[in-house]
Amino acid sequence: MTDTATPRYYLVPNYQLSESPTRPVIDPATLEEVGVRVEMNAAEIDRVLTRVNTAQAAWKRLDAKTRAQHLHRLANRIEATDVSRCAVLMSREMGKPYPEAIGEVANCAPIFRYYAEMARDEAGKVAGTTQTGSLQYARYEPYGVSAHIMPFNFPILLMCWTVAASLAAGNGCVIKPAAATTLSTLEFMQVFDELPEGLVACVPGDAETGQALVESERTHAIAFTGSVAAAQNVAAGAARRMKPAVIEAGGSDPMIITAHAPLEVAAAGAVTGAFHMSGQVCTSTERLYVVDSIHDDFIDAFVAETQRLRIGNGLEKSEIGPLANQAAREKVQRLVNDAIAKGAKVACGGRVPPGLDTGWFYEPTILTDCTPAMDILNEELFGPVVAVVRVADFDAAMQAANDSRFGLGASIFTTDLAEAHEASERLEAGMVWINNPMIDNDALPFGGWKASGLGRELGRQGLDAFRRTKMVVLDHQPVRHDWWYPYPDDWFYHEGGRKHV
């Protein structure tokens, strides 16, 4: 075990690991064991939920200003913490290039500050009264304890997005990290010691652990990011228990390159959109629609930009690290092989990089002449491969981009203002990026349409996802109302017609 690995029993006051059997943590770049992790058993999960529910009972009684002060102190703690160890662990667990790992962890503080202040604005509604002398309004209250089931690709940032909103709303939080990023998550969990004891907890485990949190009577809201199949299971489990769920289920994002696109900028943007973090981003560009008149020139520029990328260990100088595991690379190769068999051409890549036989590496790959008959245009790829489709014009591009069961994000490169506005209206996705893919904003809702998800993270919608409304009717002067029981005799039906309406 190296000095960057987490000990078997990594103890932080609120986040104890169990003494269950351990499982090895394998570096996807070297296939070496870099640490071990454990999975909590049912009894341990039950004890954790007891602690979090107890802590939440006190947390929800705090006024919004006091909760905001706690969250600002948490943000201060994140900013003051040396997060390099967490970033190194992340790179070694799942292969993310170190600059991206350190950037992810270092940029988590702002979301806690955003929701600290957002939650101070109750934003309840005073409605027009239905009767004289009555104040009628809505207020927000927390659900109780939220369970956060996290993916491996952005294990810290995506966790903070929903945990910050949930805490600001007055909930306690239980986090189930992805198995592939357990160690880095546990390392980051230390910052939550700034909060009241027991309010936030981490329960390492596998899919069964996540299922147990969804089914527990002591969790009251769910946040999930993962595959469509897993998301459907989580949504069904939450629905059976009438629990609200915020679900981000991935996608197969399109990017459109119009005849009015600046080719050099569009090519560079497409490289980042398609190959950022080896394509293991839910909002990665997987389908590229290029208008015929500029197709060939764009492909030349796109290939040239792609060939500048360095492939290697995430802790070395490289933009393209390994895929998370063997199954991920096998899926990528299957989809590439299917596309080639059906007529796609390899403009670059399409293979394991020479000299990198160890580890789950795959070259950044551009496939041209792709058609809807190919599986690569109908499945979520989650790897460094993009399928390019030549289209006749802008309208054909819009129609093809929307022809998908997914609807997370969509991008377009154009200098034509009319095309930009029309794309923002016509693209069937929860997020549309014009000339700058994959950007997010704490104050704007993040989430997908169609099979890509339910609910929203970030913004006020992200806060409201973790609180429920209560209608309050307050008569400041108690009086006996004429519609109360018992009814006057002349209100009842009489033969010949009703005497009173």
Q: Which pLDDT belongs to residue 19?
A: 59
Contact 440, 158 (CB under 8 A): no
Asked whether residue 15 carries a pLDDT value surpassing 90, the answer given is no
Identify whether residues 149 and 210 lie together within a single domain.
yes
pLDDT in tens, 74-85: 999 999 999 999
Q: What is the mean pLDDT of residues 197-215?
A: 96
**Structural domain harbouring 190:** 33-249+451-469
Same domain, 421 and 381: yes
Say what the pLDDT of residue 22 is.
83
Element (H, E) at 289: strand 285-291
Do 372 and 281 lie in a common domain?
yes
Residues 209 and 275 in one domain: no
Residue 154 CB burial class (10 angstroms; 0-12, 13-18, ≥19): buried
Domain presence at residue 380: yes
Q: Same structural domain for residues 295 and 257?
A: yes
On whether residue 487 sits in a domain, the answer given is no
Classify 227 as helix, strand or coil.
coil
What is the mean predicted confidence (pLDDT) over 470-491? Answer: 93
- Residue 41 pLDDT exceeds 60: yes
- Provide the token pair at 206: 């596998």
Query: Which residues on neighbouring strands pair with residue 254, listed in sequence order?
Result: 287
Is position 117 annotated as part of the catalytic site? no
> Are 265 and 392 part of one and the same domain?
yes
Rounded CA-CA distance 186/15 in Å is 8
pLDDT at 446 over 50: yes
> CA-CA distance, 221 to 147, in Å (whole number)?
6
Task: Please compute the mean of the pLDDT values over residues 150-177 and round it to a whole number.
Answer: 98
How high is the pLDDT of residue 147?
A: 98
Kindly write down the DSSP assignment for every residue of 374-389, as one continuous string. SGGGTS---SSEEEEE
Shared domain for 141 and 78, answered yes or no, is: yes
Q: What is the pLDDT, as a whole number, of residue 8?
A: 30
Residue 500 belongs to some domain of the structure: no
Evaluate if residue 499 carries a pLDDT over 80: no
CATH number of the domain at 383, please.
Answer: 3.40.309.10
Same domain, 257 and 212: no
Determine contact, residues 169/59, Cβ cutoff 8 Å. Answer: no
Statement to judge: residues 345 and 204 lie in one domain: no
Q: Is 79 a domain residue?
A: yes
How many domains would you assign to the chain?
Answer: 2
- Which of 108, 160, 282, 370 is catalytic? The answer is 282
Token pair 């899919």: residue: 207
Residue 439 φ then ψ, to 5°: -80, 145
Residue 491 lies in a domain: no
In this prediction, residue 493 carries a pLDDT of 86
**Angle of the 417-426 helix axis to the 394-402 helix axis, nearest 10:** 20
pTM: 0.94
274 and 228, same structural domain? no
Least confident span in 121-130, 202-211, 290-299, 446-455: 121-130
pLDDT of 7 above 70: no
Q: What is the pLDDT of residue 3?
A: 40
Which stretch of 57-61, 231-235, 239-243, 486-490 has the lowest confidence by average pLDDT? 486-490
> What distance separates the 2 farthest-apart alpha carbons in the chain?
97
For the chain, what's the residue count? 501
Predicted pLDDT at 122: 80
Query: For position 194, which CATH number holds?
Result: 3.40.605.10
CB 248 within 8 A of CB 447: yes
Is residue 129 assigned to a domain?
A: yes
Task: Say whether pLDDT at 443 is over 60.
Answer: yes
265 is a domain residue: yes
pLDDT band with cut points at 50, 70 and 90 for residue 5: very low
Give me the mean pLDDT over the 7-26 stretch: 56
Phi, psi of 256 (to 5 degrees): -110, 130
> Residue 430 domain-assigned?
yes
pLDDT at 12 over 90: no
In this prediction, what percent of the chain has a pLDDT beyond 90?
90
Q: Which residue has the tokens 């580890």?
A: 359
- pLDDT digits over 459-478, tens only? 999 999 999 999 999 999 99
**Looking at residues 175-186, what average pLDDT do you find?**
97
Calculate mean pLDDT across residues 109-130.
92
Q: Is the per-residue pLDDT at 301 higher than 50?
A: yes
pLDDT of residue 1: 33
What's the pLDDT score for residue 10?
Answer: 35
Question: For residue 497, what pLDDT is reported?
Answer: 60
Q: Of residues 39, 100, 187, 248, which has the active-site annotation?
A: 248
**Does the structure show a pLDDT above 80 at 2?**
no
Q: Examine the pLDDT at 256 and tell me if it is beyond 70.
A: yes
Task: Say whether 282 is catalytic.
Answer: yes
Please report the sign of the dihedral spanned by the C-alpha atoms of residue 214, residue 143, residue 463, residue 107.
negative
pLDDT value, residue 451: 97
Considering the domain architecture, whether residues 205 and 316 belong to the same structural domain is answered as no
Question: Are residues 164 and 94 both part of a single domain?
Answer: yes
> Mean pLDDT for the chain?
94
Cα 122 to Cα 29: distance, rounded to the nearest angstrom: 48
What's the Cα-to-Cα distance from 218 to each of 93, 120, 147, 165, 174, rounded to whole Å? 31, 26, 10, 19, 11
Residue recorded with tokens 């913490």: 81
